[in-house]
Amino acid sequence: MAKRAAALPAGVICALALASCGLEDVPYIGQLPEPWRSSFDGADISLHIADGIAHFDNFAIFYRIYLSDRHIFDTANRALINPTMQADYNFFLPWTTGATAGTDVMNAFINRGFRRLALESAAINDVLGSASLGGALAIFFEQIPYQPPRLELDGASHALRRAQIARPGIDDFNPLPNINGALPFLNHDQLLNPANITSTVNADVVNRTGAGVSPGNVRSSYVMMYIFAEGLSFASLPPARVFSRPTFLGVFMLPPAL
């Protein structure tokens, strides 16, 4: 069982400020700086959400699942887990470091194959909305069979749910496994089946292929996550959707479904 992330140390609360994204008069929400990741061991992460964010509506978490022939807990070794994971990480690295100024962060993730995280028991935009500011957020991927990963905010717990939609009528899909209506992040046979990796079923999953990879050995799965803030700016008319730069949350191994 993964240990719970450590208590939040003093000094990790980071205020956000309005800044320019490189386009004149087009604001964006300031990035969540790296120190906000107060505890991360590859299994869980805890953080304190800043308060006083300009233009803020809610946070969004985007994810992508990667199959692998390696069962390792060194989740920093992204290329060994799945080369596509490393390629995705490299693609977004300039966005997270500030080298790239992007105004349409959401579509950048969708076009890269990422999907928006959901919750089983609540609307995630409400949970990560204005009431979350100043709160303590934790995400757990405990390695317990059939234990769905969960998000906790100030003690309220919600099981994570895979997305079914990215853009209405364009990217709808129906992930497997579907367990009594729940769409959990579990290392399940239906997740590992390459026949299910299609645009209408497991559109959020990347297979592990390549030289030396035996399909029968692809038995593990991992998820990579990013978080950013989104809101509405009235700096010009019509009002425009604005985003923070994304912050890398980490890579997590999906719990077994045995």
Statement: the pTM of the whole predicted model exceeds 0.85: no
* Number of separate domains in the chain: 1
Q: Report yes or no on 10 lying in a domain.
A: no
Tokens matching residue 181: 């209506």
Q: Report yes or no on 32 lying in a domain.
A: no
**Which amino acid, residue 207?**
N
Q: Report yes or no on 19 lying in a domain.
A: no
Q: With 0-12 CB in 10 A as exposed, 13-18 as middle and 19+ as buried, what is 1?
A: exposed
Q: Residue 85: which domain range?
A: 39-253
Secondary structure (DSSP) of 125-191 = HHHTSGGGTT-EEEEE----TT---EEEETTEEEEEE--S-SSTTTS----S--BTTB----B-HHH
> For the chain, which residues score pLDDT lower than 70?
1-44, 46-54, 99-103, 166, 168-169, 258
Q: Give dist(CA 114, CA 103) in Å, integer.
A: 17
Q: Report yes or no on 81 lying in a domain.
A: yes
Q: Report yes or no on 128 lying in a domain.
A: yes
| pLDDT attached to residue 9 | 25
- Cβ contact 154:135 at 8 Å: yes
Q: Report yes or no on 27 lying in a domain.
A: no
Q: Report yes or no on 138 lying in a domain.
A: yes
Report CA 124 to chain centroid distance, whole Å.
12
| pLDDT attached to residue 27 | 40
Q: Give dist(CA 144, CA 127) in Å, integer.
A: 25
Strand partners, 250: 225
Coil/strand/helix, residue 39: strand
Q: Report yes or no on 75 lying in a domain.
A: yes
